[in-house]
Structure 1
Amino acid sequence: MKYFLLSILFAGYATAAQPTILNASYDVTREFYQDFNKAYAANYKKAHGEEPVIDLSNGGSSKQARAVIDGLQADVVTMNQDTDIQAIAKAGLIAPDWKTRLPDNAAPYTSTIVFLVRKGNPKGIKNWDDLTKPGVSVIVPNPKTSGNGRYSYLAAWAYAKENPGVGTPADFVKAIFKNVPVLETGGRAATNTFVQKEMGDVLLTFESEILQITRVFSPDKFDVVYPASSILAEAPVSVVDSVVDKRKTRDLATDYLKYLWSDEGQQLAVKYYFRPRSEKLLSENAPLFPAIKLVSVDQAFGSWADAQKEHFADGGTFDQIYLAK
């Protein structure tokens, strides 16, 4: 009995001592990071002889940032836009130089916003203009709580700026949101509304989410539509300095993020339909990622900070448009 109790105590100690980090990520990365975490843990074990525990939290990007600010003990954040990490940095939890600590402005892969429609595209949706037509129901997450929603909004606004024949950007985006029956809080919730609840004629979401649906989950029910142009969506990552310093996990957390740029990390990005930073992999998978005119947030809006202040702050342009729709 004595030896049995000792074995339990030692087993509990070993589990408690196992290196552990938490990744707070945005809604539509669930499958990617579940796979990536397994790959990273196996690679770490080969190098260090012990397997780390990588916990994962998912939600709308901005909601996740708010949770970290409010006390969620995430060692790393893997978001879909700069403003969410900047908000955490502004709260004093991440160092101001976070974008320079990793390659590619700390964004290991990119995506863009495209359209998912019912099989055969019964409403004939081909471009942003079609989203303003009467009788077209558009599903998109809330730009106030979802980076996915912000990118969709900004993509539509940028399209209107380049095509003055559709009217002012404010009127054009207002017409789109007039066709939105419900605003979900995150990208995966919007997908579930469109796919499972069968609401809407078109879903606006990340290319990675749409390609998973049309190639893996429901290829016989939906089609993907690439508009003439869209927004470049960069997905930045960072350690949460206040957490890793307190928990003594900086080395593990930093190594975990760096592995996103490894060959295996980039290949997993492709597997889950994110556009890799590796030019070689991007070229090899060109048929998977059609050429499309992409405009960055900096090009179209000056910076993410400018876009946030003008469009998504309380009382900003989105609030004015949505309340008046």
Structure 2
Amino acid sequence: MSWWRSITKRRSWQSFVSLFLVGVIASGAIAACSGGNSASNNTANGDKQITLVSYAVTRAAYEKIIPQFTAKWKQEKNQNVTFTQSYGGSGSQTRAVIDGLEADVVALALALDTERIEQAKLIEPGWEKEAPNNAIVHKSVAALVTREGNPKGIKTWADLAKPGVSVITANPKTSGGARWNFLGLWGSVSRTGGNDAQALDFTTKVIKNAPVLPRDARESSDVFFKQGQGDVLINYENEVILAAQNGEKLPYVVPDVNISIDNPVAVVDANVDKHGTREIAQAFVEYLYTPEAQREFAKVGFRPVDPTVAEEVTKQYAPIKTLFTAQDMGGWDEVQKKFFADGAIFDKIQASR
């Protein structure tokens, strides 16, 4: 683990009872959550407790991965590790950590959310280099979920701009997932030979085809499935794969020009040093890149970053002809400034609706 830091970090922030805490897993056993100050996250018998904060759709994978890791740690270190887990919308989880939810490890939907925690002085700069693959632990792409039989003939991004097509997507000002959707729309033009003016025209037409812009991806799904609004829902490929595994066969297409939805993981430096959990937190992050953990991510629909596992499960995913990244579009700082800051492109599109 030559890429792990060993320097002493700052110690700050008080413990906070979060409404987002949803469960505790201790070596695979469920225990009740409790608030208060967990002094150094130590127990009298030397056991340790760490807190993982992630976004909602990762839960199914971590419920398999965490018992594997704790069993391995117990075997190698003869020490019990308890995991407190918190799941919710990535943006909400980010705000909770900044406001005092003492995460040891954050696994969020996009690097921009992790950068916000860095800006709050809880994660040291350079966290992207602290884990393999620039700290991207798994990936996905955008999928277009249609009504049964696909009556509007949705096949590509371009179909979303057609008159009479009602599109459901969340508001990128409030939803991390919706930012991926927006970049998918814009990049489908700009990364295939179009200029910014053409990308703006296309994206504006799609946003105008959206009858509502729900606050987050979960609300978008409710609008589409429960309220019956819209002809097409922009969603994550991993979500529709997981839904199919749970018996919900959703009709969908994956555009062959697509955005690589890259999901990062990071150790929260200020908290692990406060809790005395840096070694375990770093080891856990490292474990997420092992074939064993990568297979669990793949089982719930994520595209693994481990090349061997990716080859094993390649038939599970739709082929992508042109795959672009947020970095291809200037990186998250530039993306935020250009598209999502106050007065930027999205606000101008909204004002024209």
Call closer, same or farther: CA 1:283–1:211 in 2, change over 3 Å: same
Call closer, same or farther: CA 1:93–1:124 in 2, change over 3 Å: same
Matched, 1:208 2:221: no
CA distance in 2, matches of 1:59, 1:123: 33
User: What amino acid maps onto 1:269 in structure 2?
Assistant: F
User: What amino acid maps onto 1:173 in structure 2?
Assistant: T
| Residue number in structure 2 paired with 1:176 | 206
Contact 2:46–2:79 (8 Å) recurs in 1: no
Query: Size of the alignment, in residue pairs?
Result: 310
Q: What is the CA deviation profile of residues 175-229 of structure 1, one whole-angstrom value per residue up to 9, with x for unaligned ones?
A: 111122332333233233323443322111211112112343311xx21201130
TM-score (norm 1): 0.88
Q: Secondary structure at the residue paired with 1:184? A: coil
Q: Secondary structure at the residue paired with 2:154? A: coil
Matched, 1:68 2:97: yes
CA drift of 1:253 comes to 1.2
| TM alignment of 1:1-325, pairs within 5 A | 18-161=47-190, 162=192, 164=194, 168-219=198-249, 222-292=250-320, 293-299=322-328, 301-325=329-353
Q: What is the CA deviation profile of residues 83-137 of structure 1, one whole-angstrom value per residue up to 9, with x for unaligned ones?
A: 1111111221101010111100011211111111122212110011111123322
CA drift of 1:320 comes to 1.5
CA distance in 2, matches of 1:320, 1:166: 14
CA distance in 1, matches of 2:242, 2:193: 31
Call closer, same or farther: CA 1:200–1:51 in 2, change over 3 Å: farther
Q: Secondary structure at the residue paired with 1:84? A: helix
CA distance in 1, matches of 2:210, 2:199: 17
CA distance in 1, matches of 2:73, 2:188: 44
Deviates more, 1:52-61 or 1:148-157: 52-61
Q: CA RMSD in A?
A: 2.2
Deviates more, 1:40-49 or 1:175-184: 40-49
User: What amino acid maps onto 2:262 in structure 1?
Assistant: E
Call closer, same or farther: CA 1:158–1:201 in 2, change over 3 Å: same
Q: Secondary structure at the residue paired with 2:153? A: coil
CA drift of 1:33 comes to 2.1
Deviates more, 1:59-68 or 1:156-165: 156-165
Contact 1:160–1:167 (8 Å) recurs in 2: no
Contact 1:61–1:186 (8 Å) recurs in 2: no
CA distance in 2, matches of 1:165, 1:81: 25
Call closer, same or farther: CA 1:186–1:245 in 2, change over 3 Å: same
Call closer, same or farther: CA 1:136–1:95 in 2, change over 3 Å: same
CA distance in 1, matches of 2:235, 2:185: 12
The percent of aligned pairs where both chains have the same amino acid is 37
Call closer, same or farther: CA 1:71–1:41 in 2, change over 3 Å: same
Contact 1:166–1:172 (8 Å) recurs in 2: no
Contact 1:76–1:253 (8 Å) recurs in 2: yes
User: What amino acid maps onto 1:30 in structure 2?
Assistant: R
Structure 1: gaps (5+ residues): 1-12
CA distance in 2, matches of 1:267, 1:241: 28
Structure 2: gaps (5+ residues): 1-41
